């Protein structure tokens, strides 16, 4: 039986993509800067408190509780307005070439074409489950475009745009969605739980917020790696999560350990107003998720998630902050609205007005906002739009048909990978299953699985 723990796997998979140095220099683990607590003393006559737990607090004689209602909400950074115009005409030109802008647009468009096709396929019973990211394409694509491909990503599940931007192919999406034999995860995960070792994206897992402490740990590993190889460009982790996931204890643990150990991780919250049927108004009383970043001593920004330029610029800056000096975490809260149902298992008309959704759809959208900007610059027009839509739709349907026809993974994959090596117990379960399939061929028609019953005995792929 394997003795590897999941935590060690996370760290080792981050390190696996780079060659290890032959001789490891000794690494000093005291990497956080700052005062040692036992050296903090109250100075006689000082205006400031010098308790170990609050070193920058000023004494006051006014009895006053700090009330959140007296504080202004954190502002929301934007570059483009809803009509696709640059708001601050005096600002520096965008740090993006026309081809980079076109790629961002096409990536968002691809997600917006893929999504309704797969949603419908689920309704037709050809797929067990699907989640769309309508309204949030700009957050995923804009942020991923600001990272380096060596950076490590942990996603929640509504970040199809991140995979698309990084180069996850349509056939890879489809193989995972149809859980066929070519799926990277060998059919072991539910649909939309993609993962790609080649693209440095950890496989999505359903239990909310588990990715957050994993991301903090992976970022710590990257930091250690950088200390060992300082001549190499430092890498960061980018961790995506919804505002609902931020209600989990794991969120708080992750932010605190990342802050105290100065881990190079960008926590990227998609605040889309809902955690399934629970609106944000019922989820928290504070100023969104951004105020929590500040509470943990983390540099934080709130951005307009419908403005892909703002998301891109904020992520690029966050990446710089995260890798500077002795490194640190950064929190980005990207504001948006979940236009869709939560998933194919949800009917949002049961808990919100259709009017509300329609008004958001009409009023604002990251794709139309960028399109307006591009049209204003002469980069895009109706004809190009039609052509691109047709091309993408064709490619999606081609990948769809091919993946749907593929065989399912060999049955052996149910047992392989549970432990590093096959155990006696698993081996006897394989024999038992083979016996059952042989005895009840009509009840257990396994012809769809690669190799049929014999697929139970095939070696690991
Ligand atoms: C630990 C845990 N609790 C509950 C769920 C069920 N669940 C799945 S998604 C979800 C809502 C998450 O909302 P949010 O993080 O805001 O992401 P969004 O769906 O809005 O993108 C819930 C409660 C879960 N998957 N895991
Ligand atoms: Mg949400």
pLDDT in tens, 126-179: 999 999 999 999 999 999 999 999 999 999 999 999 999 999 999 999 999 999
| C-alpha span between 287 and 333 (Å, rounded) | 11
Is the CA virtual torsion 407, 411, 415, 420 positive or negative?
negative
pLDDT in tens, 283-322: 999 999 999 999 999 999 999 999 999 999 999 999 999 9
Average pLDDT across the chain, whole number: 91
Q: Which atom of ligand 1 is nearest to the CA of 274?
A: 20
**C-alpha 371 to ligand 1 mean position (Å):** 31
Q: Which of 52-61, 254-263, 339-348, 430-439 has the lowest mean pLDDT?
A: 52-61
Counting DSSP H helices and E strands in the chain, the numbers are 14, 8
Q: Which atom of ligand 1 is nearest to the CA of 209?
A: 1
pLDDT in tens, 87-138: 999 999 899 999 999 999 999 999 999 999 999 999 999 999 999 999 999 9
- Residue 345 Cβ inside 6 Å of ligand 1? The answer reads no
User: What's the Cα-to-Cα distance from 442 to each of 148, 157, 437, 449, 451, rounded to whole Å?
Assistant: 52, 37, 9, 15, 17
Partners of 193 in beta bridges: none
**C-alpha 342 to ligand 1 mean position (Å):** 9
pLDDT higher than threshold 80 for residue 382: yes
Domains of the chain: 70-405 (3.40.50.970), 411-457 (no CATH)
**How is residue 182 written in tokens?**
């070519």
- Residue 242 Cβ inside 6 Å of ligand 1? The answer reads yes
Q: How far from each other are the two terminal CA atoms of the chain, in whole angstroms? A: 20
- Residue 274 Cβ inside 6 Å of ligand 1? The answer reads yes
Residue 69 is predicted with a pLDDT of 85
**C-alpha 13 to ligand 2 mean position (Å):** 29
User: What angle in degrees, to the nearest 10, is found between the helix axes of 308-323 and 137-144?
Assistant: 40
273-279 CB contacts, 8 Å cutoff, 24+ apart: 273/243, 273/336, 273/337, 273/338, 274/244, 274/338, 274/342, 274/348, 274/352, 275/242, 275/243, 275/244, 275/245, 275/247, 276/244, 276/342, 276/346, 277/342, 277/346, 277/348, 277/350, 277/351, 278/244, 279/352
| C-alpha span between 100 and 217 (Å, rounded) | 32
Pocket test for ligand 1, best of 136, 242, 348 (most atoms within 8 A of CB): 242
Q: Give 435's pLDDT tier (boundaries 50, 70, 90).
A: very high
User: What's the Cα-to-Cα distance from 111 to each of 141, 170, 284, 342, 459, rounded to whole Å?
Assistant: 10, 10, 30, 16, 36
Cβ–Cβ < 8 Å for 312, 138:
no
**How is residue 284 written in tokens?**
């928290």
Residue 40 is predicted with a pLDDT of 66
- Residue 244 Cβ inside 6 Å of ligand 1? The answer reads yes
Report which bound ligand comes closest to the CA of 343.
Answer: 1
Place of tokens 């050296």: 39
pLDDT higher than threshold 80 for residue 14: no
| C-alpha span between 62 and 341 (Å, rounded) | 50
| C-alpha span between 132 and 284 (Å, rounded) | 25
- Residue 204 Cβ inside 6 Å of ligand 1? The answer reads no
Q: Which helix (H) or strand (E) holds 318?
A: helix 308-323
- Residue 315 Cβ inside 6 Å of ligand 1? The answer reads no
pLDDT higher than threshold 50 for residue 13: no
pLDDT in tens, 197-237: 999 999 999 999 999 999 999 999 999 999 999 999 999 99
Percent of the chain beyond pLDDT 90?
83
Burial 286-323 (b: 16+ CB within 10 A, else e): ebbbbbbbeebebbbbbbbbbbbbbbbbbbbbbbebbb
């Amino acid at each position: 039986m394997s003795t590897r723990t999941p935590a060690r796997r996370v760290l080792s998979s981050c390190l696996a993509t780079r060659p290890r140095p032959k001789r490891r220099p000794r690494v000093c683990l005291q990497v956080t800067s700052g005062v040692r607590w036992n050296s903090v003393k109250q100075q006689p006559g000082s205006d400031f408190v010098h308790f170990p737990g609050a070193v920058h607090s000023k004494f006051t004689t006014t009895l006053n509780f700090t009330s959140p209602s007296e504080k202004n909400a954190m502002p929301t950074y934007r570059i483009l307005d809803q009509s696709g115009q640059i708001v601050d005409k005096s600002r520096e030109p965008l740090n993006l070439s026309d081809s980079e802008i076109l790629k961002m647009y096409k990536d968002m468009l691809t997600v917006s074409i893929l999504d309704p096709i797969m949603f419908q396929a689920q309704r037709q019973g050809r797929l067990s489950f699907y989640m769309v990211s309508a309204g949030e394409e700009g957050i995923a694509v804009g942020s991923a475009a600001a990272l380096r491909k060596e950076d490590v990503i942990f996603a929640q599940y509504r970040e199809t745009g991140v995979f698309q931007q990084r180069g996850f192919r349509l056939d890879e999406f489809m193989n995972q969605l149809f859980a066929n034999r070519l799926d990277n995860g060998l059919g072991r995960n539910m649909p939309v739980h993609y993962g790609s070792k080649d693209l440095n994206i950890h496989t999505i897992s359903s239990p909310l917020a588990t990715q957050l402490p994993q991301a903090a740990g992976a970022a710590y590993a990257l930091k250690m790696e950088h200390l060992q190889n300082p001549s190499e460009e430092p890498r960061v982790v980018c961790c995506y999560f919804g505002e609902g996931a931020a209600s989990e204890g794991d969120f708080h643990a992750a932010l605190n350990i990342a802050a105290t150990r100065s881990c190079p991780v960008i926590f990227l919250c998609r605040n889309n107003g809902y955690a399934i049927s629970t609106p944000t108004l019922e989820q928290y009383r504070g100023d969104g998720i951004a105020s929590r970043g500040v509470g943990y001593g983390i540099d934080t920004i709130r951005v307009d998630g419908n403005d892909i330029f703002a998301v891109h610029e904020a992520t690029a800056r966050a990446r710089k902050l995260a890798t500077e000096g002795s490194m640190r975490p950064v929190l980005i809260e990207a504001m948006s609205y979940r236009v869709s149902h939560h998933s194919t298992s949800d009917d949002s008309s049961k808990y919100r007005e259709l009017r509300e959704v329609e008004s958001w759809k009409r009023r604002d959208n990251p794709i139309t906002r960028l399109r307006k900007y591009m049209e204003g610059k002469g980069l895009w027009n109706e004809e190009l739009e039609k052509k691109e839509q047709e091309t993408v739709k064709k490619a999606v349907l081609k990948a769809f048909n091919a993946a749907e026809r593929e065989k399912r993974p060999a049955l052996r994959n149910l047992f392989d990978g549970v432990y590093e090596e096959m155990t006696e117990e698993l081996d006897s379960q394989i024999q038992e299953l083979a016996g059952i399939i042989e005895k009840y061929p009509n009840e257990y028609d396994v012809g769809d699985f690669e190799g049929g019953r014999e697929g139970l005995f095939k070696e690991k792929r």
